[in-house]
Structure 1
Amino acid sequence: MRGRNNSVSDKVDWTLCLLLLLFCLTSCVSIYSADKDYLPSQIMWYVIGSVAIAVITYFDNDQLRKLTWILYGIGIALLLGLVFAPITDFTPERNGAQSWYVIPSVGSIQPSEYMKVFTIMALSKVIHDHHEKTVYTSLKTDLILLCKIGLTAGIPIGLVIVQDFGTTLVLIAIVAGMVLVSGITWKIIIPLYSSIISFGALVMYLAVFGRSLLAKYLSIDQYQFARIDSWLDPVEAGDSGLQLVWSLQAIGSGLISGKGYGNVEVYIPERHTDFVFTIIGEEYGFVGGSILIILYFLLIYHLIRTAFLSNDPYSIYICVGVISMIAFHVFENIGMTIQLLPITGIPLPFISYGGSSLMTNMMAMGLIFSIRYHHRSYMFSPSLSI
């Protein structure tokens, strides 16, 4: 029997609306302090993102599953276009990477950002469809599912890795999170993850103490080693470590309560994008930074609760994919500004300036709004009124 709450107002996720509003205000205030010229564009993308949320919310799970491979195919085609396109005004090269399409009067569009959401949708469909068709699970069926996941995610990862290493890490984080809830037996997951972690640890060790081997067998260039040096010892790294040195100075100078709004004294290039957290740290100190991190914890908690209270496995997979994406973004971005992690160019969700990254996050939230809006509550089932 259906639940009593069927009005539009009851089906809207107002908690998520409030969290997005707080992120929007934080972003606008931070970007205005960094460079007010970028504020109108950020507001425009928030408006466009809100429209995207409304459109995505209209589609239920069945409709989203039907659209999945179309969107996935469009994303792959756009990535292939960047791989084979010559350098032009339409497909320029920036910071050594050809990762954007430039559309006049609109701005830059980065397909790898949108591919995160399309990959989440594709993996959710693959896992959902596999379990619908599999009556009895076994080691063999789990290995087949793992291969399906690997193939679905491997194509975009292979195309993105030549354009943007940071986005590649995000895609890997999404896959890692979704594999954990895919139903694959731990007899496969534990050896697989242990091998990956061990390999990663070995690469990091060689990046510090055995660079000649990495340069010889993995063709890693010297500028990539420079990133490791600028992370481990930014002062000794010279010019390559200046960004991190300035970041630490800005956040450290904010102390407990910060210097106050508009009192930015430490110069950091392009701080309105990947290093926007330094503005919050300098102007509002430890207190301001902690409040922002708490907001992210509330968002992730809300998404986890939505997943637990959902009646549909597909919705759960979507939630886990979005959680993995947001959590990795936050951990990596804040971590790189305080020297906890290497600098990778990953933006801070909902706060950093950037149309493609903001649209990606808003589209992901649209999927969550859709889950809440089309949720069917039955007698004695938990409500999604959270």
Structure 2
Amino acid sequence: MSRFNRQQSTPTINYGLLLPIFLMLVLSIWLQYWVATYEEVSAVNQAIKQVIFVVIGVGGMVMIKFIDKKIIWKLVPWIYVFSLLLMASLYLFYDVTMYNITGTKRWIDIAGIKFQPSELAKIAYILFISKELIKYEMNTKIKTLSTDLNLLWKLLLYSVPLFALMFMQKDFGTSLVFICVLGALLIAAGIDWRILGTIGAILAVIGCILIFLVFTENGNNILKSLHFKQYQLDRIRAWRDPYAFADSIAYQQVQGFIAMGSGGLFGKGSTGIDIYVPVRESDMIFTFIGEAYGFVGASLVIILYFYLFFQIFYTGLKSNSKFNIYICVGVVFMLVFQTFENIGAAIGLLPLTGIPLPFLSQGGTSLIATMIALGLVFEMNVYD
């Protein structure tokens, strides 16, 4: 298949990509163990649970690595449809416990196995959009504003079922991940700058309108009619002036600031934590890193993330396949957005959205899905 041209050379093991993944997985087990020591759960059990997730994730990554990309190419439409059906099945097999806690149907529960279909949908969406971009380039001899617009409408049409399901599940944070992935892939495909500029302007206006509505009573009523929850609106207000709501809606965020600030340059160590931060094992895991290991430790973790992102990009470029490049762009920006949003929320740059920090936050579905996505990258042959 011409779209998967490979040079006649011997592929090498991608140690450059393997190293940051290995370090992230070890760090995830380490952090979950120590965070659990400050919660009312067994630290050993939590570490074992994380090890199980790591083993399943690595197994998924290895399995995907040995599936030829030609087979994946043929299965892409079916994978996307399956992911949509899986998300739709939430209305029959949703996790009742999580629904009672959050009021949303985001977790599926089948025979005691619980996971978030949206995490797997991210991978399916990356593959689907990447394939559509390749088909567009193969069938379009001369790209014009008109052909690019036709492509955009086609992609938006295909995306409607996904975003409709996300809207019905009230998962605004994850919807932003899909938007980021789509935008990154459109830029990578070289879509006409006038289209990209118009989309950017529209999104900026919508964002400003949403923020304005948050701070008016009538605006709140409008947002609630659009399925926004009260806690989501509170997060925006808490982000604007957290210390004004330090004892109420901004308690989690302010505690996170105090914890990270108290870590200083080198931190207090894993056994020196003395600031309570709600949901520290998941949404606020970065505050534990800042308190325990200080500015230096937190900076090293961020550097490790950037090294991982670079290796994914580099793998795509060296693989000699446009399809692979698009997949790498999608995977990188999926991880970049989640990392930027989670850490940005922890340090006050962005409002809280509940998006997990890749690898490190508690949550088996997120970790396993991330490893499967990286399996797609590992499958790419990199040549000397």
Instruction: Give the alignment's TM-score, normalised by structure 2.
Output: 0.90
Which of 230, 233, 239 in structure 1 is aligned with 2:238? 230
Q: For 1:264-311, what per-residue CA distance to the aligned partner results, in whole angstroms no more than 9, with x for missing partners?
A: 211123311121111111110000000000001111111222233332
2:56 is matched with 48
Aligned counterpart, 1:124: 130
Once structures 1 and 2 are overlaid, which stretch shifts more, 147-156 or 280-289?
147-156
Equivalent in the alignment of 1:17 = 18
Report Cα offsets for 1:231-259 as digits up to 9, x if no partner: 22233323221111111111111011000
Q: Deviations over 1:184-234 (max 9, x none)?
A: 2112211221222232123223433x4524534773554432221222223
Pair 1:287 & 2:288 matched: no
Whole-angstrom CA distance in 2 between matches of 1:201 and 1:217: 13
Amino acid at match of 1:125: K
Q: What amino acid sits opposite 1:195 in the alignment? A: I
Q: Does 1:242 align with 2:233?
A: no
Find out whether 1:136 has 2:149 as its counterpart: no
Indicate yes or no: 2:162 matched with 1:152. Answer: no
* Residues 192 and 264 (structure 1), Cα distance of their counterparts in 2 relative to 1, 3 Å cut: same
Q: Which amino acid counterpart does residue 180 of structure 2 have in structure 1?
A: A
Is the 1:117–1:364 Cα contact (8 Å) retained in structure 2? Answer: yes
For the pair 1:191 / 2:198, whether they are aligned, the reply is yes
> In the TM superposition, what whole-angstrom CA distance separates every residue of 1:50-94 from its partner, at most 9, and x where no partner exists?
111111111232211112122211110011111x32766598544
Q: How does 1:373-384 map to 2 (within 5 A)?
A: 373=381, 375=382, 383=384
Structure 1 counterpart SS, 2:362: coil
Aligned with 2:376 (options 353, 367, 373): 367
Aligned residue for 2:27? 26
Q: Equivalent residue of 2:249, what SS?
A: helix
Residues 211, 179 of structure 1: alpha-carbon distance in 2 compared, 3 angstrom cutoff: farther
Structure 1 residues 223 and 294: alpha-carbon distance in aligned structure 2, compared to 1, 3 A threshold:
closer
DSSP-derived class of the 1:215 partner: helix
Q: Is the 8 A contact 2:214 2:237 kept in 1?
A: no
One-letter code aligned to 1:110: Q
For residue 349 of structure 1, give the secondary structure of its aligned residue in structure 2: coil
- Give 1:314's aligned amino acid: F
Q: 1:214, 1:96 → 2: CA distance? A: 18
Listed one character per residue, the Cα deviations across residues 110-143 of structure 1 (whole Å, up to 9, x for unaligned) are 0011111110001001111121122222222111
CA contact (8 A) 1:87 1:93 kept: no
Unmatched runs of 5 consecutive residues or more in structure 2:
37-42
Residue of structure 1 equivalent to 2:286: 277
Counting only pairs closer than 5 Å after superposition, residues 210-221 of structure 1 correspond to structure 2 as 210-213=216-219, 215-216=221-222, 219=225, 220=228
Q: Report the equivalent of 1:173.
A: 180
The whole-number CA distance in structure 2 between the counterparts of 1:39 and 1:96 is 29
Paired position in structure 2 for 1:111:
117
1:201 equivalent in alignment to 2:208: yes
Distance 1:146 1:359, change over 3 A: same
**Is this contact kept in 2: 1:123–1:152, CA < 8 A?**
no
- 1:98 counterpart (91, 97, 105): 105
Q: Is this contact kept in 1: 2:187–2:196, CA < 8 A? A: yes
2:272 to 263, 266, 290: 263
Contact 1:42/1:355 (8 A) holds in 2: yes
Q: Is the 8 A contact 1:304 1:320 kept in 2?
A: yes
**Cα distance change, pair 87–99 in 1 and its aligned pair in 2 (3 A):** closer
**Greater mean alpha carbon deviation, residues 197-206 or residues 267-276:** 197-206
Contact 1:93–1:99 (CA under 8 A) maintained in structure 2:
no
Q: TM-score, normalised by structure 1?
A: 0.89
Contact 2:163 2:175 in 1 (8 A): yes
The root-mean-square deviation of aligned C-alpha atoms, in Å, is 2.2
Count residues with an aligned counterpart: 369
SS of alignment partner, residue 265 of structure 1: coil
Is the partner of 1:236 in helix, strand or coil? helix
Asked if the contact 1:92–1:102 (Cα under 8 Å) also holds between the matched residues in 2, the reply is no
Distance of 2:362 and 2:95 partners within structure 1: 24
Distance 1:135 1:95, change over 3 A: same
1:284-363 map, 5 Å = 284-363=293-372
Name the amino acid aligned to 2:201: S
Select the residue among 59, 63, 76 that pairs with 2:71: 63
Amino acid at match of 1:204: I
**In structure 2, what residue type is equivalent to 1:57?**
K
Q: Which residue of 2 aligns with 1:380?
A: none
Give the C-alpha shift of residue 104 in structure 1.
4.4
